[in-house]
A = this chain, B = another copy of it.
Amino acid sequence: MMHRLAEKEQAVSPLLTDMYQITMAYTYWKTGRHCLHSTFDLYFRKAPFGGSYALFAGLQDCLRFVSYYRFTQSEVDYVKSVIPSCDQEFLQWLLTVNCASVTIHAFEEGSVVFPSEPMLRVSGPLAVVQLLETTLLNMVNYASLMATNAHRFRIAAGPEAKLFEFGLRRAQGPDGAMSASRYSMHGGFDGTSNVAAGFQYGIPVFGTHAHSYVQSFCSLSDCFADTKHFISSKDSEMSSQAFRDRVTRIRDTLDLASRTSDGELAAFISYAFVHPSSFLALVDTYDTIESGVPNFMCVAFALFEMNHQPIGIRLDSGDLGCTSVKAHSAFHGIAEMYVSRFKAPRDGVLNMVSKLSIVASDEISVPKLLELRSMNHEITAFGIGTHLVTCREQPALGCVFKLSSVQGKLRMKLSEDPAKASIPGEKVVYRLYDQHNKAFGDVLALSDDKSLRGGESVELRRRQRPENVITVVPHRIRKLLQLVWCGEPDVKQLDPQQYIKMATSRMKMDVDELDSEVVGVVCEPKEYPVFITSSLYQAMRKLQCLIEIRNESDR
- A-to-B contact residues, CB < 8 Å: 1-5, 9-10, 12-13, 15-24, 26-33, 36, 38, 40, 72, 75, 78-79, 82-83, 85, 87, 89-90, 126, 130, 133-134, 137-139, 141-143, 166, 168-180, 193-196, 198-199, 205-213, 215-216, 218, 222-230, 232, 234, 240, 257-263, 270-271, 273-275, 277-278, 285-287, 290-291, 317-318, 386, 390-392, 395-399, 401-403, 406, 409, 411-416, 547, 550-555
Assess whether A1 is in contact with B1, with CB atoms less than 8 Å apart. yes
- Give Cα A239–Cα B216 distance, bound, in whole angstroms: 77
Give every chain B residue within 8 A of A31 (Cβ-Cβ): 223-227, 229, 240, 270, 273-274
Which of B21, B27, B171, B261 makes the CB contact (< 8 A) with A172?
A: B171
Assess whether A196 is in contact with B555, with CB atoms less than 8 Å apart. no
Assess whether B138 is in contact with A168, with CB atoms less than 8 Å apart. yes
Q: A171-B172, A195-B82 are in contact. Are A555 and B262 (CB under 8 A)?
A: yes
11 contacts between A and B (CB under 8 A): A20-B209, A21-B207, A28-B216, A33-B270, A78-B198, A138-B169, A141-B169, A141-B170, A143-B173, A262-B555, A390-B396
Assess whether B208 is in contact with A176, with CB atoms less than 8 Å apart. no
- Give Cα A124–Cα B28 distance, bound, in whole angstroms: 57
Among A16, A36, A194, max chain B CB count under 10 A is at: A16
Q: A206-B19, A390-B395 are in contact. Are A274 and B27 (CB under 8 A)?
A: yes
Smallest distance from the beta carbon of A258 to chain B beta carbons, Å?
A: 7
Which of B27, B212, B229 makes the CB contact (< 8 A) with A87?
A: B229
Assess whether A224 is in contact with B396, with CB atoms less than 8 Å apart. no
Number of copies: 2
Q: A207-B18, A403-B216 are in contact. Are A173 and B170 (CB under 8 A)?
A: no
- Give Cα A222–Cα B409 distance, bound, in whole angstroms: 14
- Give Cα A193–Cα B23 distance, bound, in whole angstroms: 11
Give every chain B residue within 8 A of A553 (Cβ-Cβ): 258
- Give Cα A401–Cα B215 distance, bound, in whole angstroms: 13
Assess whether B398 is in contact with A170, with CB atoms less than 8 Å apart. yes
Assess whether B134 is in contact with A75, with CB atoms less than 8 Å apart. no
Give every chain B residue within 8 A of A166 (Cβ-Cβ): 18
Give every chain B residue within 8 A of A169 (Cβ-Cβ): 18, 133-134, 137-138, 141, 399
Q: Which residue of B lies closest to A61 (CB)?
A: B173
Q: A207-B20, A229-B89, A275-B27 are in contact. Are A416 and B3 (CB under 8 A)?
A: no
Given contacts A5-B9, A27-B209, A142-B171, 18 further A-B contacts (CB under 8 A): A4-B9, A16-B196, A17-B195, A19-B207, A21-B207, A26-B275, A27-B274, A31-B226, A31-B229, A32-B224, A33-B222, A33-B226, A82-B198, A138-B169, A138-B173, A175-B176, A212-B402, A286-B414
Q: A229-B89, A258-B553 are in contact. Are A13 and B24 (CB under 8 A)?
A: no
Give every chain B residue within 8 A of A130 (Cβ-Cβ): 210, 212-213
Give every chain B residue within 8 A of A198 (Cβ-Cβ): 15, 19, 78, 82
Assess whether A395 is in contact with B403, with CB atoms less than 8 Å apart. no
Smallest distance from the beta carbon of A303 to chain B beta carbons, Å?
A: 14
Give every chain B residue within 8 A of A138 (Cβ-Cβ): 168-171, 173-174, 177
